[in-house]
Amino acid sequence: MTRAVVFDMDGVLISSEEIWDDVREGLTAELGGTWRPSAHRDMMGLSTPEWTGYMHTELGVPRTPEQIAAMVVERLIARYRADPPVIDGVVEAVRALAARYPLGVASSSTRTLIDAVLDQTGLTECFTATVSSEEVARGKPSPDVYLRALELLGVAPADAVAVEDTGGGIRAAAAAGMHVIAIPNPHYPPASEALALADRVLDSIHDLPGAIPD
């Protein structure tokens, strides 16, 4: 029986993966680091301390992880406010599900970004619990961020559904013991072995309200 639904944010609620890539690559070049073709996939799903550490150590960005985080978040918020990259159908799907279940967000984005996105989309009141991976010990694909969201919701993993788009996120939700619905990110599609962990795969978030298991 489904008692709660927990959403990833980037790639599920907003089409932001490409914006993250552009901002981090641009900052790396601007500050004299060396971008790698694999960098975005390497950082996908990592917590803030993890990806900022990667940019500092692996990409050679000559700033502290804390400074890198502040600069990236500032640029992302400016981009979101100028042109919110909300995925078509998200607002309707979230509001339909909020009328039926408590909802959560379990995201690799920072707390500041989560709050900014929900405010921009007018969906803040739809979510009972929101968790950033910077608030737990490990980022995705570890299950920590999902387990914390479920703790706040007061729901057991077996009674909750996760909505994810990438391989690391699918693995995290599956490791938490949740029912997983995947809506694959067309720009960064999950590997077949990760997608196989999902209980259901949808083409669009438009289909989500009718896909939640009883």
Phi-psi region of 6 (alpha: psi -120 to 50; beta: other; left: phi over 0): beta
pLDDT tens-digit profile of 27-50?
999 999 999 999 988 998 788 899
pLDDT over 80 at 25, yes or no: yes
Q: Note the CATH number of domain 17-82.
A: 1.10.150
Q: How far apart are CA 52 and CA 67, in angstroms?
A: 9
Average pLDDT of the chain to the nearest whole number: 95
Pick the CATH number of 4-15+85-207 from 3.30.420.40, 3.40.47.10, 3.40.50.300, 3.40.50.1000: 3.40.50.1000
pLDDT tens-digit profile of 183-205?
998 888 899 999 999 999 999 99
DSSP for 51-84 reads: HHHHHHHTS--SS-HHHHHHHHHHHHHHHHHHS-
Q: How far apart are CA 49 and CA 37, in angstroms?
A: 21
Asked if the peptide bond before residue 209 counts as cis, ω within 30 degrees of 0, the response is no
Catalytic site positions:
8, 10
Total-model pTM:
0.88
Domain ranges of the chain: 4-15+85-207, 17-82
pLDDT at 185 (0 to 100): 86
pLDDT tens-digit profile of 87-99?
999 999 999 999 9
